[in-house]
Amino acid sequence: MTTCTRAQATRLEEVLAERFGTAFSAPADAPGVDELMRMANHRSHRRYLPRTVEPALLRLLFGCALSAPSKSDLQQADIIHVEDRSTVKAIVDLIPDMPWINQAPVFLVFCGNNRRIRKIGDWRGKPFANDHLDHFMNAAVDAGLVMMNFIRAATAAGLGTCPISAVRNRPNEVSRLLELPDWVFPVAGLCVGYPAEAGRVSPRLPLAVTVHTNRYDEANLERNIDAYDPRRQALQPYRRQRYADRYADVEFYGWSEEKARHYSVPERTDFGAFIRDKGFSLK
C-alpha cells in the first residue's frame, strides 16, 4: 500500500476542496493515496483518441468490474460489449444528442439480470418466491456497482469514460437491438477510450447537504444550495438555458434552476411499463 507524501496529501486536499467548496484534511501518511486521488479527481470524457483499447486490457477490466460486491452473492449484473459499429450507430440514432457514443472506441451497456437466478431455481426445482420490487432493485444496484468498478479500473489503466443513462430513454428499442430477454434490462451505457482532453472536475453539492449524522437533516438545505449555485456556475457554467420554449431566460442560471427545469418535463415515462413487460411485477 502506497503511503503519500505531504505534497500528494496537499494535492488531494486541493482537488476535494475544488469539487466540494470546503476544506479537507488528508494526513501526510494517508494510505492508498493513488486510489484516493483517482477517485477524488474523477472526470467524464466525451472525446477520445483514435487508439484501440486492446482486447486483453478490456477483458482484464471486465474481471475487475465484476469483482464488485453483489447482493447476497446473486451476481445479477451483465456487461454487453457492443462491438458491432452498426449497432452502436443504431443506438446513437435513438439518442442523437450524444454523438460521442459513436466516436468512443468502446461502447458498453451494463444490465441488471434477474433471469439467471430464476433459471437456476427452475433447474433446481425451487420456486421463485420474491417476485416484487426489491428483486428488481437488487439487480439494478448490482449493475451500478459493476459499472462504477469498471470506471475505477479503466481510470487506473489510463482510460476515460462517460456514463450514458440515456439508453433508458428508448428502452424497448435498445432492448431489441441488444436482444435482451425477459428479466434483463439496461441500466446505463458507458463510452470508453483513451481521452483526447483532460476533462474537468464537476463541482458537487457540499457534504453538509449529502452527508448526515444519525438522522436525515435538511435544516439548511436551501441556504446550502443557494451557496452552491454560484460556485458551480463559476467553475462549470451551462452553455444554454433548458427548455427556452417553456421558460423565460433568467439573468442567473444556476444548477438548481437547471435541475428544476429538467424535472419539470416528463421523461422516460414508459420505463415502468418496459420493466413490467420484461416480467417484473414491481409489487
C-alpha cell at position 129: 418466491
Could you tell me the pLDDT band of residue 31, with boundaries at 50, 70 and 90? Answer: confident
**125-169 pLDDT, tens digit each:** 999 999 999 999 999 999 999 999 999 999 999 999 999 999 999
The torsion angles phi and psi of 88, rounded to 5 degrees, stand at: -60, -45
**C-alpha span between 62 and 56 (Å, rounded):** 10
The residue among 26 and 247 whose pLDDT is bigger is 247
**C-alpha span between 2 and 14 (Å, rounded):** 20
Cβ-in-10-Å burial (0-12, 13-18, 19+) of 169 comes to middle
Sign of CA dihedral 249, 254, 257, 259: positive
Could you tell me the pLDDT band of residue 29, with boundaries at 50, 70 and 90? Answer: confident
**C-alpha span between 11 and 159 (Å, rounded):** 21
State the residue for C-alpha cell 426489491. 134
- Considering the segment(s) 55-199 as one domain, its CATH architecture is 3-Layer(aba) Sandwich (3.40)
* Percent of the chain residues past pLDDT 90, beyond the cut: 91
Domain residue ranges of the chain, discontinuous segments joined by +: 6-36, 55-199, 211-283
**Distances, alpha carbon 226 to alpha carbons 24, 114, 205, 233, 256, in Å:** 21, 42, 10, 11, 8
Instruction: Summarize the confidence of residues 11-27 as an average pLDDT.
Output: 93
Taking the mean position of all CA atoms in its chain, how far away is CA 84? 23
Whether residue 26 contacts residue 35, with contact meaning beta carbons closer than 8 Å, is answered with no
The pLDDT value recorded for residue 85 is 96
pTM of the model: 0.94
The pLDDT value recorded for residue 106 is 98
Kindly tell me if the per-residue pLDDT of 2 is higher than 60: no
Beta strands in the chain (DSSP E): 77-81, 106-113, 160-164, 184-193
